[in-house]
Structure 1
Amino acid sequence: MNSKDTHVLRDGHRIPSIGFGVWQVPPEQTEEAVTTAISAGFRSIDTAEAYYNETEVGNALRRSELPRSSFFLTTKVWNTNHGRNTTIKAFAESTRRLGTDVIDLYLLHWPSRVRDLYVETWEALIDLKREGLIKSIGVSNFSVQQLARLIGETGVVPAVNQIELHPRFQQKEVRRFHDRHGIVTESWSPLGMWKNGVPSIQEPVIQRVALKHGKTPAQVVLRWHLQEGLVPLTRSVNRLHVRENIALYDFSLDPDDMEAIRALDSATGRRGPDPDTAEF
C-alpha cells in the first residue's frame, strides 16, 4: 500500500484510505464481488460475522495472486456474542471462516446498550490484541457517550469507529471526539441512503460539482470523504461502479465544492439506527 493512500492508526498500523464492504452482498455473489474489487485496486475489505459471507471473503483473498499481507481485513463481533468468553469464541469462528490466523481490524459491531456488555467485550478484544491475534481493535456505531465510557473504564482508545456518515448526516460531534482522541473515522453508507425516494447523489449540489469536474456524483461524494479525512467503505456488485468508486485520485474538490457539500448536513439525516436508542 502506498503511504499517501493510507491513514496511520493510533497503534502505528496503516489502514487504506478507502475500503470495499460486503454488507448485504449475498454469499453467492460475495467472492466474485471481492475479486472484482481486488482487481480494481481495493486492498481493504470489510465484512462481519453478521453479514454471513466471511467464508466467501476468505475464499476471494486466498485465490488472489497477491499475498495475504497485501490486504487489510476487517470483521466484527455481533451483539449476541458480547461478553468475554463468547467474544473470544466468535473471534475464533471468524478467523476459521476467513481462513486467516490474524485479523487486521476487529470491531464491536454495535454497542448493544440493551445487553450492556460492550465494556467486557472490549476487554476481550484488548486481550486478543495483546496475544497478537488482532493487529488493531475498534468499534462501530458508537456514540460519544459510549466511547467516553469505553475509554474511561478500560483506558484503551479504539483505533477506529465505523459510523453512518454521508453528506446528509455528517456526524460532526462524533468526529470532533474522534479528532481529540486520535480515532480514525470510517464511513458506512458513504453515498447516503434513500430519502423520500431520491438518493443523495441526486442532490443538485452534488450533480453540479460532478458536472464541473467531469466525474460521477458517487465519485464526488467519495472524494469529499477522502478530503474530509474520512475512510469511506463502498459497496457494489456492479463491475463498472466498483472501478469508478476507487478512481478518486486524479482530481480534487476545491474549497467551494467542499463547503457546498458540507451545507447538506441535516440533523434529521440519519437513516440507520441510533446507537443511543437502538433496541438490539
Structure 2
Amino acid sequence: MLPPVPQTHPVGATAADHGVRLQVRDVSVSFQVKGRARTVLSDVSCDIATGEIVGIVGRSGTGKTTLLNLLGAILRPTSGEILLDGQIFDRPTNKVITVFQDYGQALLPWRTVRCNVSLGIERRLDKATVAERVARALAMTQLEAHVDDLPWQLSGGMQQRVQIARAMVMEPEVLLLDEPFGALDAMTRATLQDDLLRLQREAGFTVVFITHDVDEAVYLADRVLVLGGSPAAVVREVRAGLPRERNQLDTRESPEFVTARRVLADELGGGAQ
C-alpha cells in the first residue's frame, strides 16, 4: 500500500521561506500560426521562492519551454507580467541564466573549455577577475583537467558540464534548465543530477528546470508544477517533502519519492511525456 499522497498546494502557494524571487502573474501567450492566433499558455500564475528548486512537467506541446523562456525574459507574455525580485522583468539579465538542452550546438567548437566558460564575462570584466571566476566555475563542475580540451574531445556529459560552468561563471541568482540531461545515458544523467544539487547547495541559486522524466522531476525538485490543458495552465503542484541531502538509491526507494512519482505519473496519464 502506498503512503498518503504528498502535499499539494493551490496554484501560487509556495514555500517562500526566504522570499519570492520570481512571480508569474496571470500570464498568457499567443502566437500567430498561419494568420490565426494560437494561445499556448492561459492565465498562468505561480511564485518561485529564493533558493527553491522547481520542476516543470507536462505532456508534449503543453508550453513548458514557452514558460521557461518567459522566466528568462527571452519571450514576453501576450498578457500578464513576470516579476523578478518584485520588479517587472521583461528583458534578459545576468541574474537569470538559461542552460539549453542542445549542449553540442551551444558550445563553440573552436574554443577550449576554458574559453567557452569565459565567453559571457571576458569582455566586461578585467582579466584577473575573469581568470578567478573561470577557475572557480571549472572547479565546481570538476572540469579542471579538461581546461584545454575542445568540445568535440569531450563526452556528452562533459560538454553539458561545460554549459553549466559557463552559466556558473555568471554568478546567477536564477538558473533555468531546459531538459538539461535528457540526451544523456542513465549513469551520466544521475551523476549530473547530483552535481546540480551539490552546486545549488554551495551557491544557493534558484533553479527552475523542465523535464520529461517524472523520476528526475521528483528527485531534483522541492516542488513540481504540472502544465496541462489546451491552452495550458498550471493544473497541479506537488511537493514530495524530500530532504535536500539526497542520493540516487535511498531517495528513490523512500515512500515520499514513490508516492510523489505515482501522483505525477497519474496526472500525466501514465508516466513521463
| Range into which the TM-score falls when normalised by the shorter chain | 0.3 to 0.5
Instruction: Give the TM-score taking structure 1 as reference length.
Output: 0.38
More helix by share: 1
More strand by share: 2
Instruction: Give the TM-score taking structure 2 as reference length.
Output: 0.39
Relative contact order, CA 8 A, sep 6+: which one is greater?
Answer: 2
